């Protein structure tokens, strides 16, 4: 008998007595509070900042100069650019662009200073941005190995209030990365310290107005 059959057989015998089989009560809240889109964006900003992400705001005209300034302040010489990132966003910076290539090895990525991406959506109540590898987001490793990640969230269309609102908008077949602040640890005395293996600096730009 295969272990598969053995385990499945044990399970069937184990639950033969019936056991609890409740309908799942879905009476929990879909959203915690009533907010205008502007209030939702403010909450996102506040919660991101609370977990030590740096939050900026820009409109269609301001995004390029803002990104140029953030990269300059960082002293970045190179920036990773995923395919599908609106070219206009990086129009004002002369920092060397590095393409997100399938064959790039981790050592090459480790030598890059910054990465700029978009996102699939952001969740205000938890201060979370979610990446799904779609246009302008790139492969998962590009937002992992460089130490400086700038993520652009289009406001209000990419922002939802809550986790229950977010899931139906995501495709589980795609690789999903949920990011809530820069990397952190609670492993020393159960106290939170920011900055371990993932990017130690996370900057989020809330971009209003037309995307392109």
> Should residue 212 be labelled a site residue for another protein when binding is judged by CB under 8 A?
no
C-alpha–C-alpha distance, residues 101 and 105, integer Å: 9
Listed in sequence order, the residues at least 6 apart from 44 whose beta carbon sits closer than 8 Å to its beta carbon are 122, 123, 124, 127, 153, 159, 206
34 belongs to the binding site for another protein (CB under 8 A): no
Q: Which is nearer to another protein, 135 or 209 (CB)?
A: 135
Q: Does 189 sit near another protein (CB under 8 A)? A: yes
For residues 131 and 119, what is the distance between their CA atoms, to the nearest angstrom? 5
Place of tokens 């790039």: 104
Q: Which residues face 123 on adjacent strands? A: 128, 160
73-102 residues in contact with another protein (CB under 8 A) are 101-102
Give the nearer residue to another protein in terms of CB position, either 100 or 205.
100
In angstroms, give the least distance from the CB of 92 to another protein: 29
Span 123-142, contacts to another protein by CB under 8 A = 123, 125-128, 133, 139-141
- Report in angstroms the alpha-carbon separations of 14 from 3, 24, 46, 127, 180: 16, 22, 48, 42, 40
What is the contact mask toward another protein in residues 1 to 20, using x (rule: CB under 8 A)? -xxx-xxxxxxxxxx-x-xx
Nearest approach, Cβ of 132 to another protein (angstroms)? 9
| Residue with smaller CB distance to another protein, 89 or 100 | 100
Instruction: Read off the tokens for 191.
Output: 């106290």
The residues in 101-120 that bind another protein, with binding defined as CB under 8 A, are 101-104, 106-107, 110
Least distance in angstroms from the C-beta of 206 to another protein: 18
The string of DSSP letters for 54-90 reads EEEEEETTTHHHHHHHHHHHHT-SEEEE-TT--GGGG
The window from 54-62, 68-76, 91-99, 181-189 that contacts another protein (CB under 8 A) reads 181-189
For another protein, which is the closer residue by CB, 78 or 177? 177
d(CA 198, CA 210): 31
Minimum CB distance to another protein, residue 202 (Å): 9
CB-based contacts of 209-212 (< 8 A; 24+ apart in sequence): 209/59, 209/60, 209/61, 210/60, 211/60, 211/86, 211/154, 212/86, 212/88
145 to 164, contacts with another protein by CB under 8 A? 145, 163-164
**Coil vs helix vs strand at 107:** helix
Decide whether 88 or 101 has the Cβ nearer to another protein: 101
- 21 vs 61, which CB is nearer to another protein? 21
């Amino acid at each position: 008998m295969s272990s598969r059959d053995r385990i499945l057989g044990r399970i069937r015998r184990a639950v033969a007595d019936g056991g609890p089989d409740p309908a799942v009560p879905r009476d929990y809240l879909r959203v915690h509070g009533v907010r205008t889109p502007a209030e939702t964006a403010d909450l996102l900003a506040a919660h991101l900042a609370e977990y030590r992400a740096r939050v900026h705001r820009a409109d269609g005209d301001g995004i390029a100069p803002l990104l140029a300034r953030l990269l300059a302040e960082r002293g970045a010489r190179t920036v990773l650019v995923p395919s599908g990132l609106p070219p206009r966003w990086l129009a004002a910076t002369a920092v060397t662009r590095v393409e997100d290539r399938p064959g790039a090895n981790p050592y090459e990525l480790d030598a890059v200073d910054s990465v700029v991406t978009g996102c699939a959506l952001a969740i205000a109540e938890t201060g979370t941005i979610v990446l799904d590898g779609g246009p302008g987001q790139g492969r998962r490793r590009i937002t992992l190995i460089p130490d400086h990640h700038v993520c652009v969230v289009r406001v209000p269309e990419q922002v939802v209030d809550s986790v229950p609102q977010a899931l139906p908008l995501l495709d589980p077949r795609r690789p999903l990365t949920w990011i809530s602040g820069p990397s952190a640890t609670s492993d020393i005395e159960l106290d939170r310290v920011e900055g371990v293996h993932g990017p130690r600096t996370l900057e989020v730009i809330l971009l209003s107005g037309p995307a392109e």
